Amino acid sequence: MYKYVIDGNFPLKGSVKTSGNKNATLPCLAATLLTDEPVTLKNIPEVEDVHVMIDILSVLGSKVEKIENNIYKIQTLDIKRHDIPADLSQKIRASILFAGPLLSRTGKVILPPPGGDIIGRRRLDTHFLALKELGARVDIDGLFTLQANKLKGVEIFLDETSVTATENAIMAAVMAEGKTIIRNAASEPHVQDLCNMLKQMGAVISGIGSNILIIDGVKKLSGTEFKISPDYMEVGSFIGLAAVTRSELVIEDAAPQFLRMTKVAFGKLGIHWETDKNNIRIPSGQELRVNPDIGGMIPKIDDAPWPGFPPDLTSIALVVATQVEGIILIYEKMFESRMFFVDKLIGMGARIVLCDPHRAVVSGPSRLKGSELVSPDVRAGMALVIASLCAEGQSTIHNVYQIERGYENITQRLQKLGARIKRVPEA
């Protein structure tokens, strides 16, 4: 186990390249089970969640070859087992993504309850309701057992716009008999990546990027070579970091087409940046001031399914708001425990009123002071890193495994920008 020791209140400078989208990588890894031919995935982030998914693939019978950093070749000639090992399943939420491809290829899957971030109740009902519509029988008795003699295309209306449930339904439908229409589908960039990869493998999918996906089942998928898109969540984190440390940073391969709502939301905090092709530059010394709504009303930043403001960036926005002059409401509508790291920021000196599990009113700017902290989840953990880098004095962050589940080589990359951060073993 490791911890981060951070000396804050120092400006940063330089450029950083965006890693591949972790949330796109995980379903794309699971989807390699849909073919017995080799699939090469490029721009894979070297993070803990990805390594656990690869471990699961190996247990299931996949041959996984690391060509070089960030490039993996996977081939699954035969699937050796139907069940996901509980010790691996409990490490990540994404273990649920094996339901669709295993059911499609073998007709059976046994899943222990998945792990992952504790950010509120994260229901699985949508997954199983969608797979039942396609013809699966679902038995829940501690474990989740799904079986199907044959999957058949059908019209599905998802009861919530769940990213992973959409992905499971897509992977189950691509080789189902007939046409499947998925309505109220999630359309995030990571869902688009999965669809585009499957199309390269021979799947017939239309409506990509919308909330209605039309899938014509095919009998067989082939291998392919696919590059994962940049992680726009990581880009948002670096934008927030640049703003609160008053630093000039260039973010390379930033995929600005995915940042439209992020730009709107961060604009409410006075943050702006310049775009140069696929890179963005955040100028130093920005005047961070809340832009009120018409009539001088207090504005809010609230998350929503794509193309709304990403829920994974609400923790980052909240920390940034502590350094901005004015009052703003941060409204996290989708997960009822994501705001529970606010007490750590208050302990550092932030002026925040936690109204309820979903809403926090932030009054800034506040002078944050270094503190002893514990990372509760991936995004809140990164938010605490950002808070520590703009705080006065030294901070220590424990449980950094949670941060490293989603951010590739984060300490080394921050050090190259001039951050005074060390990754040291726990005593």
Q: Are residues 195 and 304 in the same domain?
A: no
Answer yes or no: is pLDDT of 164 > 80: yes
Answer yes or no: is pLDDT of 271 > 50: yes
Burial pattern 96-106, b for ≥16 Cβ within 10 A else e, equals bbbbbbbbbbb
Please state the rounded mean pLDDT for residues 112-132. 73
Residue count of the chain? 427
Q: Are residues 209 and 240 in the same domain?
A: no
Helix, strand, coil share (%) of the chain residues, nearest 5: 35, 30, 35
pLDDT for 112: 87
Answer yes or no: is pLDDT of 76 > 70: yes
Edge-to-edge order in the sheet of strand 39-42 = 63-68, 71-75, 39-42, 224-227
Catalytic pick among 36, 49, 55, 117: 117
* 190-223 residue pLDDT tens: 999 999 999 999 999 999 999 999 999 999 999 9
**Alpha-carbon distance 403 to 385, whole Å?**
9
pLDDT above 90 covers what percent of the chain? 90
Domain boundary among 203, 227, 251: 227
Element (H, E) at 284: none
Confidence of residue 332 (pLDDT cuts 50, 70, 90): very high
pLDDT for 12: 97
**Alpha-carbon distance 418 to 343, whole Å?**
28
Q: Are residues 210 and 294 in the same domain?
A: no
**Alpha-carbon distance 110 to 95, whole Å?**
11
pLDDT for 401: 92
The gap between the terminal CA atoms of the chain, to the nearest Å, is: 9
Residues 6+ apart with CB under 8 A from 51: none
Domain boundary among 227, 247, 275: 227
Q: Are residues 218 and 314 in the same domain?
A: no
* C-beta of residue 381 within 8 angstroms of C-beta of residue 404: no
Alpha-carbon distances, residue 33 vs 57, 107, 411, 415 (angstroms): 8, 13, 33, 38
* 228-254 residue pLDDT tens: 999 999 999 999 999 999 999 999 999
**Alpha-carbon distance 208 to 161, whole Å?**
15
Q: Are residues 393 and 297 in the same domain?
A: yes
Q: Are residues 113 and 234 in the same domain?
A: no
Work out how many domains the chain is built from and give that number: 2
Closest C-alpha to 205, from 166, 161, 151, 147: 166
Please state the rounded mean pLDDT for residues 372-386. 95
Residues 6+ apart with CB under 8 A from 289: 270, 324, 325, 326
Element (H, E) at 255: none
Q: Are residues 49 and 15 in the same domain?
A: no
Phi, psi of 120, deg, nearest 5: 120, 180
pLDDT for 122: 56
Domain that holds residue 112: 22-227
**Domain holding 378: CATH number?**
3.65.10.10
Domain boundary among 227, 261, 290: 227
pLDDT for 199: 98
Please state the rounded mean pLDDT for residues 358-380. 95
pLDDT for 140: 86
Answer yes or no: is pLDDT of 117 > 50: no
Would you call 117 a catalytic residue per the annotation? yes
Sign of CA pseudo-dihedral 305, 314, 126, 109: positive
Q: Are residues 190 and 335 in the same domain?
A: no
Q: Are residues 420 and 297 in the same domain?
A: yes
Confidence of residue 113 (pLDDT cuts 50, 70, 90): confident
Confidence of residue 121 (pLDDT cuts 50, 70, 90): very low
| Cα-to-chain-centroid distance, residue 74 | 22
Higher pLDDT among residues 21 and 124, named by residue: 21
The three state secondary structure string of 140-188 is EECEEEEECCCCECCEEECCCCCHHHHHHHHHHHCCCECEEEEECCCCC
The pLDDT mean for the chain works out to 95
Cβ-defined contacts of 408-411 (< 8 Å, 24+): 408/19, 408/45, 408/46, 408/47, 409/46, 410/382, 410/385, 411/4
On the 0-12 / 13-18 / 19+ scale of CB atoms within 10 A, 58 is middle
Q: For residue 87, how many other CB atoms are within 10 A of its CB?
A: 11
Q: Are residues 210 and 357 in the same domain?
A: no
Q: Are residues 257 and 137 in the same domain?
A: no
Confidence of residue 119 (pLDDT cuts 50, 70, 90): very low
Q: Give the relative orientation of helices 232-244 and 378-390 as an angle to the nearest 10 degrees.
A: 20
pLDDT for 147: 95
Q: Are residues 183 and 132 in the same domain?
A: yes
Facing residues of 7 across strands? 394, 420
* 31-53 residue pLDDT tens: 999 999 999 999 999 999 999 99
